[in-house]
Amino acid sequence: MQYRELGGTGLRVSVVAMGCWPISGITSLDVNREASLETIRQAFSGGVNFFDTAWSYGSSEELLAEALGTQRESVVIATKGGLDREQGRQFHDAKPASLKRQCEGSLRRLGTDRVELYYLHARDPAVPVSESAGAIAELISAGKVRGAGASNLTLSELQEFHEVCPLTAIQPAYNMLQRDIERDILPWCRERQIAVCVYWPLLKGLLAGKLPRDHVFPEGDGRRKYPMFQGAEWIRNQDLLDDLRLIAGRAGVALSTLVVAWTVRQPGITTALCGAKRPWQIRESAEAGGCELTREIMDEIAAALQRRGAAVTRAAV
Ligand SMILES: NC(=O)c1ccc[n+]([C@@H]2O[C@H](COP(=O)([O-])OP(=O)(O)OC[C@H]3O[C@@H](n4cnc5c(N)ncnc54)[C@H](OP(=O)(O)O)[C@@H]3O)[C@@H](O)[C@H]2O)c1
């Protein structure tokens, strides 16, 4: 596993982090407690020392605390506030008092007195970004949070945040088919040594290539609403996966390993947050942390993406 510095903190984080959204069971099917605990443990034993969760990810914070136990001291935990859920409905609440309350709640559930990274999960349309950033700056001063993060913000919102509370990390969507941040956000972060921890490296499992062309998403599977899993986009994505499967075969790795390894090789990307609800899934993703793709393989992937053409995508929140 390779490790990189998290912003300017001096902390070293694995290039493959475990994303804890699937184990919340909110949109993933067939989630169970024992498998979730084992997935976290397998991540840790595979060299993953960076775990990404949130106030709004159901019981995942408690599961992390339970699975890690005393190993908590040797990992980096990131959690988030500003998005809340009630009766299955997600809503924004990033008022300063709410962020502080949510952070206290996260610390309690995680069984810790400080997290290494605390993100504003998304902008609250009713609250200026600078006010939410101010609350996180106060959490840092109070010793409850080590570094500040922001997720799902535009470049100008990130600038507004950074002026009030210097950013350690950001968390945007990024994968082979969603590369918008390369235009402006990625160069801005690189100039400031802000870590870029990307979500959806496997595009919610699509790029792992295990969903057959004729797959029908069952009721309750959160993926069915996204354009990349529908119609012409789905067919183009399946064609791309046929190409990538051949390339992965030539590289001698699983397709998901190839995709995650490509992601963390992109300039400016610090870590890929890989969601998993089963141990074998995080093992395949974690393999990418020790996988060196050759120039030839990277060129073949670039040519396959060129043939695929631009994708229609949609943000998470
Ligand atoms: N800040 C934000 O707004 C935001 C938004 C989204 C995500 N995130 C973070 O980023 C993390 C990653 O996003 P994500 O979990 O939504 O998506 P992801 O990592 O792109 O995909 C995860 C899903 O892919 C499937 N999968 C994983 N490994 C696989 C493998 N080896 N083979 C086949 N399928 C595999 C699993 O789905 P199935 O088993 O169900 O098929 C898993 O739930 C999240 O867990 C969360 O921590 C943050």
Q: What is the pLDDT of residues 224-269, one digit of tens each?
A: 888 889 899 999 999 999 999 999 999 999 999 999 999 999 999 9
Mean pLDDT score, 281-295:
96
Is the minimum distance from the CB of 92 to ligand 1 under 6 angstroms?
A: no
Would the pLDDT of 315 be above 70? Answer: no
3-205+263-292: what CATH class?
A: alpha beta
- Phi, psi dihedrals of residue 33, rounded to the nearest 5°: -55, -45
Gap between the Cα atoms of 55 and 90, Å rounded: 12
Is the minimum distance from the CB of 19 to ligand 1 under 6 angstroms?
A: yes
Map tokens 């995650």 to a residue: 260
CA of 274 to the centre of ligand 1 (A): 6
Tell me the pLDDT tens digit for each residue of 186-197.
Answer: 999 999 999 999
Query: Pick from 289, 55, 287, 80: which is nearest to 171 by CA?
Result: 80
CA of 272 to the centre of ligand 1 (A): 10
- How big is the CA angle at 154 (ends 307 and 15), to the nearest 5 degrees? 65
Is 199 a residue of the active site? no
> Cβ(3)–Cβ(286) under 8 Å?
no
Q: Say what the pLDDT of residue 217 is.
A: 86
**Which residues on adjacent β-strands are paired with residue 81?**
120
Gap between the Cα atoms of 48 and 46, Å rounded: 6
DSSP 21-71: SGGGTSS-SS--HHHHHHHHHHHHHTT--EEE--TTSTTHHHHHHHHHGGG
Mean pLDDT score, 206-230:
88
Token pair for residue 39? 């997935």
CA of 57 to the centre of ligand 1 (A): 13
Is the minimum distance from the CB of 257 to ligand 1 under 6 angstroms?
A: no
The residue whose CB lies within 8 Å of the most ligand 1 atoms, and thus the one to mutate among 157, 200, 207, 287, is 200
pLDDT confidence tier of residue 82, bands split at 50, 70 and 90: very high
